[in-house]
Amino acid sequence: MSTGIDHDVDRPQAPVVPLGTPCQIPPGAPSNVVPPPGEDLITVNFGPNHPSTHGVLRLIVTLDGEVVVGLDADIGYVHTGFEKNFEQKTYWKGIPYAPRMDYLGFFANELAYVGAVEQLIGLQVPPRAQWLRTLFAELNRIHSHLIYLGTSGIELGAMSLFFYCTRERDSVLDLFEMVTGVRMHDRYPQFGGVAEDLPKGFYAECKRFCREMPKHIDSYLDLTAENPIWKGRLQGIGTIPAETAIAMGLTGPNLRASGVPYDLRRNDPYLAYDQLDFDVVSAAEGDCYARYLCRTREMYESVRIIEQCLEGMPQGPVMADDRKYVLPPRAELQTSMESLIHHFKLVTEGFRTPAGQVYCAVESPRGEFGCYLVADGSPKPWRVHFRAPSFVSLEATAMCSVNRYIADMIAVVGSLDGVMGEADR
C-alpha cells in the first residue's frame, strides 16, 4: 500500500518467514556485532543518559554514515543488587523488593516471587484471591502497554500520543490506589492471597473504566495504525523471524508478533486464566509495527479479562487460613494470644520453608518473567534469580539494528520494550 513517502531502496517490506524456517543467527555472540574493519567508521556512544532509550541503556554504535554497522549494548547502569538483597531478608520482607525490578509491570514481578514461594511451601490460595490477582495483573498489563505506547510515540516524534496514554494510565493507577493505597509498587500479592479485599465503589469505578478504555484504545489506533509516518517508521524494521525469536529467548508480545502465539496465560495457565475467555493476539511479520499492533490489541483483551473478573469473581476470603505462613488479621491481635505470637514469629523470624528449588514463571507485559528460588530450609532464601524478559529482548537489539539506519535502531529499542530495571536487576 502506497504511503506517499519515498522509501529508500534498502528498506524493503519484511517478508513473512514461516515458522520452522531454521534459525539464521551467525555464529559468535549474537548480541555484539563487531564492525567490519573500515576507515570511515565513527563510534558513537548512546546513553546511558539519553532521552530515547528506555532507561539507562548504553549502546556503543559504530556507524558508516547513518548506517549502523556495529553495535554493543552495555547494561548494568541501574544494577541494584536485588538478588543479593533478597538473600538478606526473610521471605515476607522480600516482597517489597520484587515490584521494583520491572517498574512498569510491577504486579507480574510480585506474582512470580510470591508464586514461587507459595509453590515451595505448598500454600493454597483461595479462589477469590486468584481472581483478584488476575484482575490486577491485567490492569497492570494495560498500564505497561500504555507507557510503552506513549514512550514509543515520543521516540518517533509523536508527542501527543504520550499525553493521551498517560491520561489513561492515571485512571488505571487510580484503581490501584483505591484498593492498595499506592499507585505503583503495591505489596498487594502476599503469600496465601492478597493484602486486602476490594473497597466499596471499586466495582463501579472499574466498570466505568472497562466501558471507556476500549474507546480510548480505538483512538490510539485511529491516531497511529494507518498513519503513513508511523507505518513508515515501523513497518519492515527490526524483523525477527519466528525460529530466531525462539532461539533468542524472546517471549511475550515480541514473540507473538513473530507469528508464535505463545502466551503463558494460555499455554501454561496460572491464577484464574484457565476459566477466562480471551484471545491471544499475534501477528505474522515480526517487525516493529507488528509488535506495536500486538501490544495495543492486547489491551482490548485485558479489558475483556477485567470485565469477566468483575462479573465472575467468587465470594470468599482473600487470604489463606494457614497461620504458620500468613499473618493474622490485625483485629485478632487484640483478642487472641495465638494470633499475637504467630504475628510476632512471622514478622521477626519469618516462616521456614522446606529446602528445594522452584521456578515460577508468569506472563508479564514484557514476556516470561520467572523467579528461580533455591531454599535451604531457613527463613531466608538461599538464592533468588529472576529471569527478566527485557534482559533477553535486549540481546536481540544488535541483530535487528545492524545494517539499518540509526533512526531505525531507536525504533527497534523502543519496540522491544525493555525496562532497564529488570534487565540489570
Partner 1 sequence: MAVRPVDISRAIRSEELEEYVMLTTVEKALAWGQSNSIWPAGFGLACCAIEMMVLPSPRYDIARFGSEVFRSSPRQADLMIVSGRVAHKMAPALRQVYDQMLLPKWVMAMGACSSSGGMFANYAILQGVDKIVPVDVHIPGCPPRPEAVIDGLRLVQRKIRAGVAPAYELEKSKA
Partner 2 sequence: MTANQLARAISSHVRGAVVSHSKGIDMPTVVVRSDKLLDVCRYLRDEQGKNFLSAVSAVDFLGYGENVSGYFGTERGRDLNATGTWGSPATVEAPAKRFCVTYHLAHVDADGAPPDRVRLQVFADDGEPVPSVVEIWPTADWHEREQYDLMGIVFSGHPNLKRLIMPSDWDGHPLRKDYPIGGEPVQFTDAE
**Residues of this chain that bind partner 1 (CB under 8 A):** 48-51, 55-56, 76-81, 84-85, 96-97, 100, 103-104, 106, 147, 151, 162-163, 166-167, 169-170, 183-185, 420-421, 424
Cα–Cα distance, 14 to 240 (Å, whole number) = 9
Q: Does 75 bind partner 2 (CB under 8 A)?
A: yes
Minimum distance from residue 357 beta carbon to partner 2 (Å): 7
Q: Does 346 bind partner 2 (CB under 8 A)?
A: no
Q: How many CA atoms lie within 13 A of 299 on its CB side?
A: 30
Task: Name the E strands within 114-221.
Answer: 189-190, 193-194
Q: Does 360 bind partner 2 (CB under 8 A)?
A: yes
Q: CB-wise, 80 or 267, nearer to partner 1?
A: 80
Q: CB-wise, 143 or 291, nearer to partner 2?
A: 291
Using CB under 8 A, which of the segments 54-62, 72-80, 206-214, 231-239 binds partner 2? 72-80
Q: Are 386 and 398 in contact (CB under 8 A)?
A: no
CA distances from 106 to 97, 185, 265, 366 (A): 10, 6, 17, 11
**One-character DSSP codes across 399-418:** HHHTTSBHHHHHHHHHHHT-
Place of cell 507480574: 108
State the binding partner of 261 from partner 1, partner 2, none, CB within 5 to 8 A by kind: partner 2
Using CB under 8 A, which of the segments 289-297, 308-316, 384-392, 411-419 binds partner 2? 384-392
Place of cell 469477566: 308
Q: CB-wise, 334 or 348, nearer to partner 2?
A: 348
Q: Are 234 and 292 in contact (CB under 8 A)?
A: yes
Judged by CB under 8 A, which of 223, 246, 310, 407 binds partner 2?
Answer: 246
State the binding partner of 104 from partner 1, partner 2, none, CB within 5 to 8 A by kind: partner 1
State the binding partner of 19 from partner 1, partner 2, none, CB within 5 to 8 A by kind: partner 2
Using CB under 8 A, which of the segments 209-217, 299-307, 359-367, 406-414 binds partner 2? 359-367
Cell of 121: 511451601
Q: CB-wise, 89 or 304, nearer to partner 2?
A: 89
Amino acid letter, 246:
I
Minimum distance from residue 268 beta carbon to partner 1 (Å): 28
Minimum distance from residue 81 beta carbon to partner 1 (Å): 4
Task: Name the E strands within 275-355.
Answer: none
Burial of 22 (0-12, 13-18, 19+ CB in 10 A): exposed
Cα–Cα distance, 179 to 201 (Å, whole number) = 10
Q: Are 381 and 374 in contact (CB under 8 A)?
A: yes
**Phi, psi at 239, each rounded to 5°:** -75, 130
Q: CB-wise, 223 or 333, nearer to partner 1?
A: 223
Place of cell 539507562: 56
Q: Write out the residues near partner 2 by the rule CB under 8 A.
A: 19, 23, 25, 27-32, 75-76, 79, 81, 83-85, 88-90, 93, 119-120, 242, 246-249, 251, 255, 259-262, 264, 266-268, 348-349, 352, 354-361, 368, 370, 372, 374, 376-380, 382-383, 385, 387, 391-392, 394-395, 424-425
